[in-house]
């Protein structure tokens, strides 16, 4: 099924831009929908890849022969040398859509990133606003947000293949690691620690590698767009704060596969953990697609008291609870935050309640559907 995507891209010929995103998030589908009649250079085609890898200057010959003013190049990271030709043709008035799933190979080869001449966009997996009435939280937390896998009747085989293909194609094929075994162990430990502050030393010990190696492994996940760090909020502390960043995988279905989680149901601890990971995805996607450029972080005392998400400099605090009945204990962390930051403009508890309401001390308890409508309507930040 094809879904309407919230990411807005330039009209054909308006600008040169990169479109990055993890594999299977729908980048090519979106580009085909928008620019299907334009000149396409698909580097997944073996003949095209071999030809342009051997002679990057052939790109200019193809563009001239077609008289093209706008060109889509899919999987640009496979032949980073093409970017010199793209740069030269851009200066001559040709515009490009450059699509890829791994920034790492481009950077590693010191490829030409067009010196600020190209816009940059990133497409993630499906968000609630794109699914509309088809959004099902439990399905999302079990299947993940990649379109093909979200729609599947049985997600596990597809997720298993996705993880295996990633290990083979994105990591081993590019020579990013020397041995697959330790990295495979790392992936499982990183998945188990998804949405938690990262302790590099503990993960290194569990995987039998150095802390420096673990940091490099996390760098691979970031550069191949499979996850992202969420920094700790550190401004104006009154009490001791945790300084370690959290790490969130881009897709909760991938986390399930790596951590060997199955059949998440409301009421379970892992359901709540997965819901937090998914909400991070929604907030990141909205922030990017709506071009809000907000700073996202989390707040945590060394005692373990934590608020899941902070927007900008305490403009907004968001706590996520996968519970239908809100008890005083669910509000404790937001009240603790108010002691240190009484100037926080809004405190929101997102929950699976039937109705939204506000407590006497100003905490907004917001039903999940209401929160999502408000978020994508621009009423949260």
Count of C-beta atoms within a 10 Å radius of residue 46: 8
* SS3 state at 354: coil
> Which run of H or of E encompasses 22?
none
pLDDT at 236 over 90: no
HSE toward the beta carbon, residue 141, CA cutoff 13 A: 23
- Residues 274-319 pLDDT 10s: 999 999 999 999 999 999 999 999 999 999 999 999 999 999 999 9
Q: Write down the pLDDT at residue 223.
A: 86
- Distance, CA of 274 to CA of 256 (rounded, Å): 9
**Per-residue CA distances from 189 to 162, 181, 269 (Å):** 18, 13, 18
Domains of the chain: 17-122 (3.40.50.300), 128-376 (no CATH)
Q: CA 210, CA 338: separation in Å to the nearest integer?
A: 39
Among 100-104, 237-241, 244-248, the range of highest mean pLDDT: 244-248
The radius of gyration of the chain from alpha carbons, rounded to an integer in Å, stands at 22
Give residue-wise pLDDT tens across range 121-151.
999 999 999 999 999 999 999 999 999 999 9
Query: In sequence order, which ranges of 166-305 are alpha helices (DSSP H)?
Result: 180-192, 200-207, 211-223, 252-259, 269-289
HSE of 4 in the Cβ direction (CA atoms, 13 Å)? Answer: 6
| SS3 category, 123 | coil
Cβ atoms 193, 270 nearer than 8 A: no
d(CA 264, CA 353): 19
Least confident of 53-67, 167-181, 298-312, 353-367: 167-181
pLDDT in tens, 205-231: 999 999 999 999 999 899 888 999 999
pLDDT digits (tens, 9 = 90+) for 86-129: 999 999 999 999 999 877 767 665 556 787 889 999 999 999 99
pLDDT at 173 over 70: no
* 367 or 184, greater pLDDT: 367
Q: Using the predicted structure, report yes or no on whether residue 175 has a pLDDT greater than 80.
A: no
Q: Quick one: pLDDT at residue 273?
A: 97
Q: How many CB atoms lie within 10 A of CB 251?
A: 28
pLDDT-based confidence at 174, cuts 50/70/90? low
Average pLDDT of the residues in 43-69: 96
How far is Cα of residue 129 from the mean position of the Cα atoms in its chain?
16
User: How many beta carbons lie within 10 A of that of residue 143, not counting itself?
Assistant: 25
pLDDT of residue 179: 76
Alpha helices in 67-127 (DSSP H): 82-91, 103-108
pLDDT of residue 170: 67
Average pLDDT rounded to a whole number, residues 164-181? 71
pLDDT of amino acid 109: 54
Strand partners, 96: 71
- Segment 319-338 shows an average pLDDT of 97
| Helix pair angle (155-165, 252-259), 10° resolution | 90
3-class DSSP state for residue 160?
helix
**So what's the pLDDT on residue 47?**
97
Cα separation values, 270 from 58, 189, 245, 279, Å: 52, 15, 21, 14
Structure confidence at residue 108 (pLDDT): 61
CA distances from 304 to 80, 200, 244, 298, 299 (A): 45, 18, 12, 12, 10
Rounded to 5 degrees, φ, ψ at 209 are -130, 175
Beta bridge partners of 72: 40, 97
């Amino acid at each position: 099924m094809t879904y309407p995507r919230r990411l807005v891209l330039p009209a054909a010929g308006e600008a040169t831009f990169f479109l990055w995103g993890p594999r299977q998030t729908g980048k090519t589908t979106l580009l085909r929908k928008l620019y299907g009649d334009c000149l396409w250079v698909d580097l997944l085609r073996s003949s095209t890849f071999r030809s342009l890898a051997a002679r990057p200057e052939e790109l200019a010959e193809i563009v001239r022969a077609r008289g093209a003013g706008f060109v889509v190049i899919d999987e640009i990271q496979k032949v980073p040398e093409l970017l010199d030709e793209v740069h030269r043709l851009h200066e001559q008035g040709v515009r490009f859509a450059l699509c890829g799933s791994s920034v790492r190979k481009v950077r590693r080869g010191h490829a030409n990133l067009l010196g600020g001449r190209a816009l940059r966009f990133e497409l993630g997996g499906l968000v609630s606003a794109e699914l509309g009435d088809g959004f099902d939280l439990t399905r999302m937390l079990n299947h993940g947000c990649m379109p093909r896998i979200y729609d599947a009747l049985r997600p596990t085989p597809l997720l298993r293949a996705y993880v295996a293909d990633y290990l083979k194609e994105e990591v081993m094929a590019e020579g990013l690691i020397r041995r697959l075994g330790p990295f495979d162990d790392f992936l499982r430990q990183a998945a188990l620690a998804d949405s938690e502050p990262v302790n590099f030393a503990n993960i290194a010990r569990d995987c039998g590698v150095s802390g420096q190696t673990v940091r490099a492994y996390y760098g691979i996940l970031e550069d191949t767009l499979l996850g992202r760090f969420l920094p700790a909020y550190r401004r104006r502390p009154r009490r001791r704060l945790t300084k370690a960043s959290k790490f969130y995988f881009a897709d909760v279905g991938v986390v399930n596969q790596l951590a060997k989680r199955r059949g998440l149901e409301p009421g379970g601890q892992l359901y709540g953990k997965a819901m937090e990971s998914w909400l991070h995805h929604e907030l990141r996607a909205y922030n990017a697609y709506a071009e809000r450029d907000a700073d996202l972080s989390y707040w945590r005392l060394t005692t373990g008291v934590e608020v899941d998400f902070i927007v900008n400099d305490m403009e907004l605090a968001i706590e996520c609870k996968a519970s239908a009945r809100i008890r005083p204990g669910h509000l404790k962390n937001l009240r603790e935050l108010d002691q240190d930051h009484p100037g926080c403009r809004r405190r929101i508890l997102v929950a699976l309640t039937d109705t939204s309401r506000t407590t006497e001390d100003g905490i907004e308890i917001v039903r999940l559907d209401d929160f999502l409508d408000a978020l994508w309507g621009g009423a949260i930040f």
